[in-house]
Amino acid sequence: MAYNRYFEDEKMENLDPNNIKRVLAYLKPYKYRVALSLFLMAMAAFADLLGPYLTKIAIDNYILAGDYRGLTIISLIFMGLLAVNGFAVRFRVLIMSKVGHQVVRNIRQDLFQHIQNLSFSYFDSIPAGKIIVRVMNNVNSLQNLLENGLINIITDTFRFLAILLIMLNLNLRLTLISITVMPILIFLIFLLKKKIRIGWRRVQKKRSNMNAYIHESLTGMKITQAFVREEKNSNIFKDLQNDYVSNWMKTVMMSHGIFPIVLLINTASVIIMYLVGIRDLNAGLVTIGTLVALLQYIWRLWQPIINISNFYNQVLVANSAAERIFDVLDTDPDIVDLPEAKVMPEIDGKVEFKNVSFSYEEDGEIILKDMNFEVQPGETIAFVGATGAGKSTIINLMTRFYDIDKGDILIDDIDIQGVKIASLRKQIGVMMQDTFIFSGSIADNIRYGNLEATREDIEEAAKMVYADSFIREMENGYDTEVNERGSRLSVGQRQLISFARTILSDPKILILDEATSSIDTQTEILIQKATQAVLKGRTSFVIAHRLSTIRNADRIMVLEAGEIIETGSHEELMARQGHYHDLYMAQYNRVI
């Protein structure tokens, strides 16, 4: 899968109208509250629609007749209807606001949960900023549709039909004449709908690009300032913003262009009714009360149409957002448990690679080529080689962060493809080269992989990697809060905490990927002594560019272009005077 960069629009399939149906399916648990909202809206609509009819009765039956008592009664009824309308609308808003927030919460939770289960290959292909947009902005875009749009479209549809029937009942001729302009509106809406839909899709893509660049810039802020790139980056962001604003303005102008069209057509229909109505009034074909009521109803007739046209815009915006949400939810993880997968039993630590080949992309460069090796329980294996030789790839395949293209990987003679992923990874401890510290306390970071660990366990793990002393010197010791990515800690301190976290998980197989790359020599010597005890009884894999740190490994495997070209102990490889010997001597001479 090709990587989608911040300045590249994401490619989407054709917009699926079923996306909205899938969003509305989230309303099912709240169907009774939605039904109550519909009932309240029906009450409000009924109260509102009786107003013009009461006006007709008041004019024709009481005002012209001078019946003040009847007029007073009608007025009190009218006031009561206004109160019912206000009450119903207020409580409908409260109910649907809560429902809308709960549905948005559920969609966002499903999205976040699914993202955590996606394979590494997915994150290799999409910038984190674009994923964040889908979890936050795109989900938020659905809220207005859920809170107002759905209920309004149902009530406005019935409201429109009810008004039309009342008008036809009051005066068939005037009603039919006044709505002759409606086909013009329908034609214009269908003419614009495709352009508006495409426009909102483009806006979502531009917003995603902008957010991806913000995330990338914040993550690399130290590098930006170190290389004085602030002005250049500001110009890049300015271009992204201009691109977003330009597309947003074009789409908004098209979307809101419907409203003045509706207003003009509405005004035209009212003018037609005035002109024809006054003539009919003079001819005695209509009463004053009926004409006044019809004029009030004609304004109300167009309000649902305006609302429905606005709702159509909401649907287009929501559908565009839903498309991106379900694009994630419909993405299947590459690495999944097979239907017949079993729980991995407690392992001893035997590891075997049989004719393993792998490439990160289909038909891409082959990273490992027919690799074969066997490791006995308790052995410590070191991988050595240039960058890109395949050292970290071996680790990624052993933990099933990626799946092999061909061959077999066995642990205790069990094919790891046939066991549940979680049961495999729980028994393998990995300290990655790129250490990550989460926001929270230092104790929480060390406990991250073993939530049942006690405070004594945490402190013991920290002591084993010689992190205890610097932790206790901090203002709150183990309870000291650290920032996202551990920005207030040195690189070496972050690695020590990460090392303690790995040890605390008590793995049967321990993997150290450049675990001491950023630790000073003095601390590294102490850690080497401590890890001898930790490695004892565990199968361990160590990746290190600093060759002095792996002299005590049981076996050292030298990799080149995805193949093992040498293997043996430090002494054996030095005596052989091959590739490892040259690497070690070159590094040793540089140190001297």
Tens place of pLDDT for every residue, the chain, 592 residues?
Answer: 444 555 555 555 445 667 878 888 888 898 898 888 888 888 888 888 888 888 888 888 888 777 888 888 888 888 888 888 888 888 888 888 888 888 888 988 888 888 888 877 777 777 777 777 788 777 877 877 777 666 777 777 888 888 888 888 888 888 888 887 777 777 776 677 667 777 877 887 888 788 778 777 777 776 677 667 788 888 888 888 888 888 888 887 877 766 677 777 777 887 888 888 888 888 888 888 888 888 888 878 877 777 776 676 677 777 778 888 888 888 888 888 888 889 999 998 899 999 999 988 777 788 899 999 999 998 999 999 888 888 889 988 999 988 898 999 999 999 999 999 989 988 888 887 667 788 788 898 888 878 888 999 998 888 888 888 888 988 888 888 887 666 678 777 888 888 888 888 888 898 888 766 656 666 666 666 666 666 777 898 988 777 777 888 889 999 988 899 999 999 999 999 888 888 888 876 644 3
Alpha-carbon distance of 324 to 15, in angstroms, equals 10
Alpha-carbon distance of 166 to 548, in angstroms, equals 92
- 66 phi, psi to nearest 5 deg: 70, 25
At 379, is the secondary structure helix, strand, or coil?
A: coil
Whether 560 contacts 389, CB under 8 Å: yes
**Closest-CA residue to 404 (of 391, 417, 418):** 417
Domain definitions of the chain by residue range: 18-209+245-329, 348-427+545-592
**Closest-CA residue to 434 (of 513, 511, 355):** 513
Q: Do domains 18-209+245-329 and 348-427+545-592 have the same CATH topology?
A: no
DSSP 491-513: HHHHHHHHHHHHHHT--SEEEEE
Alpha-carbon distance of 481 to 443, in angstroms, equals 9
At 237, is the secondary structure helix, strand, or coil?
A: helix
- Under CATH, to which class is 348-427+545-592 assigned? alpha beta
| CA 308 centroid distance within chain | 30
- Under CATH, to which class is 18-209+245-329 assigned? mainly alpha
**Strands of the 406-411 sheet, one edge to the other:** 368-375, 351-358, 406-411, 414-415
DSSP 151-168: HHHHHHHHHHHHHHHHHH
Integer angstrom CA distances of residue 209 from 11, 249, 299: 12, 17, 43
Residue with tokens 């614009």: 192
